Every structure is written in C-alpha cells, then in structure tokens.
Amino acid sequence: MISKKKAVIGAVLLMAVTFLLTNIFNVTIGNKVIISKSDYQEFQKLSKVRFLKDRIEDEFYQDVKEEDLIAAMERGIFDGLDDPYSQYYTKDEFKDLMEMTSGSYVGVGIVVSPGEDGFITVVAPIEDTPAEKAGILPGDKITKVDKVKYSAKEMDKAISIIKGEPGKEVVLSIIRENKPEFDITIKREQILIKSVKSEMMDEIGYMRISSFDERTGEEFDENLLSLKNNNPKGLIIDLRDNPGGLLDQVKEVADSILGEATIVYTEDRAGNRQYLKSNSSGKLDIPLVILVNENSASASEILAGAVRDNKAGTLVGTTTFGKGLVQNVVPLKDGSGYKITMAQYFTPNGEYINEKGITPEYVVEIGEEDTEDVQLNKAIEVIREKNK
C-alpha cells in the first residue's frame, strides 16, 4: 500500500511535470494539443487579428482580397516600430528593391525617402535619367502618383506605381519650396546606372560617385587607375546628392584610398559593436578632397566620415543629410522580404550623425547668384594649397 506521504509527493511531481509540459513544451494527447501558457496568450492575440480579418471580408461594403489584407497586416507589424526605414515588402516590391541596387531597372530615376513631415521626399534624381531631365530636384515632395495620393507610409506602394513599362508615362504631383503643387509628366525608361564618372581638371583628378550600387567599387577602381595614368596632383571625389547604397561598396572604395583603417562601426541595442575596416592593399598618396552637401546621405556619409576621421582627406561643401542608422535586408521563402533597422552607426572617432549630419572643414554654400560651382572651385583651391 502506498503511504499518504508518498501519494502527496507523487501528486506534487505530477503537477510539476504537467506545468513544465504545458508551459515549456507543446504536447499532443489524442487529437488535442496542449500548448504553453505564453503560446496560448499569443494565440489569443493572433486569433483576434484573424477575427478582424474575417469580419472585414464579411462586412466591408466592397469586395476585398485576402492577400491584400494579409500584406497589410504584415506591413502593420513594421509600422508599429515607428521607423521609416523598417518596412515589409511583397514579392513584387522586394524584387523592385533588389533591382534598385543592381544598377539596372525600369523607372524614372529617383531616390526617395520617407520624410518626417509625412511626405515622400526626393533625396536626389539619378544623373542622366528621365527624372533629372524632367526637372525633379532634391527635396521635392511627391504627393500623388497618377493623381492618386500617397503618404510616406505608402512610399513602397507609390514606388511600385512609379515603375512600370518603358516608354509609358507617369505623372508625379510635386510640392516644392515656395511653390504651389504642380505636376511633372515623366516617361519611364530602362535605367542603366553608371555610378562612377571621372575626368582630369588640369592637373587634378575629379571623380563623381552618384550612388553605391553593386558595381560601384569595380567602377571606382577602373576610373582611379585611368586618372592615375595622368599623374594627378590630387583627387576630388564628389559625393554631392549621393543618396547612399550598399555598405560593401563603400568598403571597396575605402580599400583603394584609406589603406588599413576603421571605416565605421555599428552598435546594436545591447551595446554590441561591429567594426568595418579597410584593408592595406591601397592608400592614396596624393591630396584628397571629398565634396558633400545636404543630400549626401547614408553610405556616402560613411565614406566622408571615414576620410575625415582618418585624416585621409578634407571635406568641402555643406552639412550632410544625417542618416546614422543601418538596415538589414532579409528575403523570405515566398519571395517577399523586409528591411529592418538593426543598429546605429558611428564614424571612426565615435560621432553619431543621425539627424545631425557631418559638417565639412570648409563650409561653402552655393547661392542662387553663383554662376560657377563654388564648392568645386574651393576643392581645387584646397588641393593646390596642399601641393605648395
């Protein structure tokens, strides 16, 4: 016969095992599943979402597509972060995002950002594209696409509409400083981006980097070699209106001009740091000036900060855009994906530039009355002074 004490101990052990099974593991008993308490609470929340979706499908005055509601729910998770750079992308949108950094896509040739004022804001038109030729300017606010209103939260949807078939037109409604809203009609084209261009200006090499896409590092090295064959007395790298791009391409450029140095470091919410360093394979042995302005953003700011903090060159122009956040792009199995802000970044000397930007050593404003590129002229002057 089992003693009363042993029976009590057995009951306690049974209760403990049951608690562990139901709060740590999911257990199947017959055709029923026992789930943990936390999982059940989570299931209740998700059930409410499913309930609301069903109610909308049953009660909304128009027909709705289930896939549209699901996509909206997926977007909503990222909307809850209140971070304009963290976003969910449908399969088609994710494909468009990948094309944007490949250097070839159909569109009008603009880089946009979600503005804090709720508008889709043009960071910069890409050089030699329909948008630039049509007169789109940095800072323009896009309010409508083909007469349909879009806010900053709907930026990705607006981008998907702006893209389309080459040869077809799209109408962008624009708000520009001190002007009433107006429309610009732009014909879509196959955009083939050559992100690096160069030329000799007397005895000084000049290189323009319009964005950092998949071939920028390779194009930079090709152009740098061509300039070096002319024995330049200095190099100007123009990052004005460069909206950024791929960090690995910044590293490739830095490898060719910095030598072994810290380019940038990131810090996540737990305080963990990761350092990105250039290798020792290349270091520029001539004076270097970096041109920047208020539309130099993200990846271009990283390069500018690395050059400044490593005393590898001089910055000329105006204070940069101020984007000090790093995003990770993650593809999902169904072809969709998401972009999430995973860390802050700091210049090698530890400066956090978000919403502040980088102020160059020589601040040079371009006035409406200026008929010459006074910033470029100052860059040439700085190089000539260093050669004395």
Q: Provide the pLDDT for residue 104.
A: 67
Sequence ranges of the domains in the chain? 4-59, 105-191, 193-386
Share of the chain above pLDDT 90, in %: 55
What is the overall mean pLDDT for the chain? 87
Asked if pLDDT for residue 68 goes beyond 70, the answer is yes
* Whether residue 213 lies in the annotated active site: no
What's the token pair of residue 39?
């999982």
Of 318, 283, 325, the residue nearest 302 (C-alpha): 325
Residue 301 has pLDDT above 90, yes or no: yes
CATH class of 193-386: alpha beta
CB 207, CB 262: distance < 8 Å: no
**In this model, does residue 17 exceed pLDDT 80?**
no
From 251, 323, 339, 378, the catalytic residue: 323
Q: Tell me which architecture the domain covering 105-191 has in CATH.
A: Roll (2.30)
Q: How does pLDDT run across 200-237, given as a tens digit for each residue?
A: 998 999 999 988 988 999 999 999 999 999 999 999 99
The pLDDT value recorded for residue 30 is 59
* 32, pLDDT greater than 70: no
Whether 323 sits among the annotated catalytic residues: the reply is: yes
Q: Which pLDDT value is given to residue 286?
A: 96
Residue bearing the bigger pLDDT, 124 or 380: 380
- C-alpha to C-alpha distances, 322 to 52, 108, 181, 291, nearest whole angstrom: 40, 25, 27, 15
Q: Rounded distance, CA 82 to CA 92, Å?
A: 24
Any catalytic annotation for residue 65? no
88-147 pLDDT tens trace: 888 888 887 787 666 667 889 888 888 878 899 998 888 789 999 999 999 999 999 999
Instruction: Give the pLDDT confidence score for residue 257 in this predicted structure.
Output: 96
Beta bridge partners of 198: 207
DSSP alpha helices (H): ranges in 80-149?
91-100, 130-134
The bridge status of strand 196-201 relative to strand 204-209 is antiparallel
Q: What is the mean predicted confidence (pLDDT) over 378-382?
A: 97
Across 11-20, 24-33, 40-49, 289-298, the highest mean pLDDT is recorded for 289-298
Residue 16 backbone phi and psi in degrees, to 5: -65, -45
Q: Judge residue 124's burial from the number of C-beta atoms within 10 Å of its C-beta, 0-12 exposed, 13-18 middle, 19 or more buried.
A: buried
- Quick one: tokens of 94? 């994710």
Q: 109: left (phi > 0), else alpha (psi -120 to 50), else beta?
A: left
pTM for the model stands at 0.71
Catalytic hit among 86, 296, 298, 300: 298
Strand-pairing partners, residue 171, are 185
Query: How far, in Å, CA of 152 to CA of 121, rounded?
Result: 8
**How far apart, in whole angstroms, are the C-alpha atoms of residue 350 and residue 311?**
15
What is the rounded distance in angstroms from the CA atom of residue 322 to the CA atom of residue 341? 15
What is the C-alpha to C-alpha distance for residues 366 and 377, in angstroms, rounded to an integer?
A: 11
- Residue of 255, 309, 336, 339 marked catalytic: 309
The segment with the largest mean pLDDT, out of 46-50, 150-154, 247-251, is 247-251
- Asked whether the CA dihedral 191, 195, 201, 203 is positive or negative, the reply is negative
